[in-house]
A = this chain, B = another copy of it.
Amino acid sequence: MMEAVQSPKEVERELVVMKFGGTSVAGAEELKRAAKRIVAAREEGRSVVAVLSARGSTTDELEAMAREVAGRPDPREMDMLLSTGERISCALCAMAIVELGHRAISLTGSQAGIVTDSSHTKARIIDVRADRIRQALEEDSIVLVAGFQGVSTESNDVTTLGRGGSDTTAVALAAALDADVCEIYTDVEGVFSADPRIVADARKLPVVSYEEMLEMAASGAKVLQLRSVEYARNNGVPIHCRSSFSDGAGTLVIAEQETMERPLVTAVTHSSNEARVTLTGVRDEPGVAGEIFGALAEANVNVDVIIQNEPVSHGGGADLSFTVESGDVTDAVEAIESLDAAEGIETDEKIGKVSIVGAGMRSHPGVAAKVFEVLGESKINIEMISTSPIKISCVIASDRVPDAVKALHNAFDLGSGAVFEENPMSSEGHRPRVTPDPEQ
């Protein structure tokens, strides 16, 4: 009978999904700090759902335990094991919030309605049935959700989403609950124009577009997990990436807007743990490349840059090179050896990659030339090149990566002395305002 009458409070209350990473819940102090931040948001009148990762090195410790008892731990059991870490964080944080005088309830991925396929250790979310969260929010509870995990529809077993899956949990919940923003708290202050450990005057970016963030995550920026950005873009979830150790605004990741000024280059990203695999004398038949990359996909190897030279009828077949993460080299080689597709396989594990990303590159064709010129001036040899409309990546020797990052950051004027300072979000009513001022 009451249903027809909605209280004005319920209609207006904002909803924020906050996600805290492992370092943000590492110990009792960090957990209490996270609890206070959550409570502060609640006391500002917002409804809060918080997604937590496992504490500090818990996941690594659990994996080490597994390897002590089994050479190849069973994936289903691995998920049962690893999923405990986030539950511990959530239960502890819920206790800390109750201690601060608020209602709180912790939910496992399964209880939170994160439904996945049954690919253990790397499950994909196929549905979010957030009824229990909604009910708890209506009862005025703060809801803590164990990140990184779900439940398979098929077998009703615990699944995990793979490393960094908690970001995806948070974004998926924000999408399902139609949250106003998904705040990702980490131990860094936001997304920077380059890794501040390499470039001293790297600048915190007030805003980047989903596309830029995707390219940056794919090319080495570790702040946000690629999958979560993809999910956010597909569902229009604004992400606010910020530090759990300070109150300053971080970086807003949102859809590219007409009003948004497009800088030529937004950031320089890099990765040092890459490896190149070169196949020589690849069998010269249609479908060979499909066979090769099919086998790699089946072996769960992510291939990054691919180059094929001397393409056809050159006698001994073509040469094919591609890069993978260093940790995947053995799997990659094994997968290809089983195919009889090439005469030889060579690997080079001293490979790195430097990339520049920027939405403005779409309309400025001269950027690639400048990148090559800058690296050339620094006597850095470019071994492979890969581009997208908003990204240029160069594969180089891994020991030259820091020099390349510095040179490019400098050449494109990305430092904190740079002119670009604006807030494209200022016209958006309830969204968090993002300004470069850390006091907000």
Contacts and interface: CB of A to CB of B under 8 A. Distances in A.
B84 A105 contact: no
Given A65-B92, A74-B95, 9 more contacts: A31-B69, A69-B93, A69-B95, A69-B96, A74-B94, A77-B91, A77-B104, A81-B88, A84-B87
Given A65-B28, A69-B32, A80 B91 contact: yes
Nearest to A95: B70
A255 interface: no
Interface string A64-84: 011011111110111011001
A70 B95 CA distance: 6
A210 B72 CA distance: 43
Q: Which one of A70, A81, A90, A91 has the highest number of Cβ atoms from chain B below 10 Å of its Cβ?
A: A91
A174 to B, nearest CB: 23
A37 to B, nearest CB: 14
B105 A76 contact: yes
A149 interface: no
A62 interface: yes
Contacts of A105: 76-77
A91 B81 contact: yes
Given A81-B92, A106-B77, A156-B111, A99 B87 contact: no
A98 interface: yes
Nearest to A35: B69
**What is the predominant secondary structure among interface residues of chain A facing chain B?**
helix
A98 B90 CA distance: 30
Contact of A28 (B62, B69, B71, B104): B69
Contact of A84 (B69, B70, B71, B88): B88
A418 to B, nearest CB: 43
B81 A98 contact: no
Interface bracket on A: 35 or more
Q: Which of A32, A62, A69 has the most CB of B within 10 A?
A: A69
Contacts of A84: 84, 87-88
Nearest to A98: B74
A76 B141 CA distance: 14
Copy number in this complex?
2
Nearest to A81: B91
Contacts of A32: 69
Contacts of A69: 28, 31-32, 35, 92-93, 95-96, 99
B62 A77 contact: no
23 contacts: A28-B65, A28-B68, A28-B69, A62-B88, A65-B88, A69-B92, A69-B95, A69-B96, A69-B99, A70-B95, A71-B99, A74-B98, A74-B104, A76-B105, A77-B92, A77-B94, A77-B98, A77-B105, A80-B90, A81-B87, A81-B91, A84-B87, A111-B156
Contact of A98 (B70, B87, B106): B70
A99 B81 CA distance: 16
A231 B421 CA distance: 71
Contacts of A76: 105
B111 A95 contact: no
Interface in A103-159: 104-106, 108, 111, 156
Contact of A95 (B78, B87, B106): B78
A99 B77 contact: no
Nearest to A68: B28
A65 B29 CA distance: 11
Interface in A281-324: none
Contacts of A66: 91-92, 95
A115 to B, nearest CB: 16
B99 A80 contact: no
Nearest to A103: B74
A84 B71 CA distance: 23
Question: Among the interface residues A35, A68, A90, A111, which one has the most CB atoms of the partner chain B within 10 A?
Answer: A68
A66 B32 CA distance: 11
A69 B32 CA distance: 7
B65 A77 contact: no
Contacts of A81: 87-88, 91-92, 95
A88 B64 CA distance: 12
Closest 9 CB pairs of A and B: A28-B68, A81-B91, A84-B84, A70-B95, A80-B91, A70-B99, A69-B96, A77-B91, A77-B94
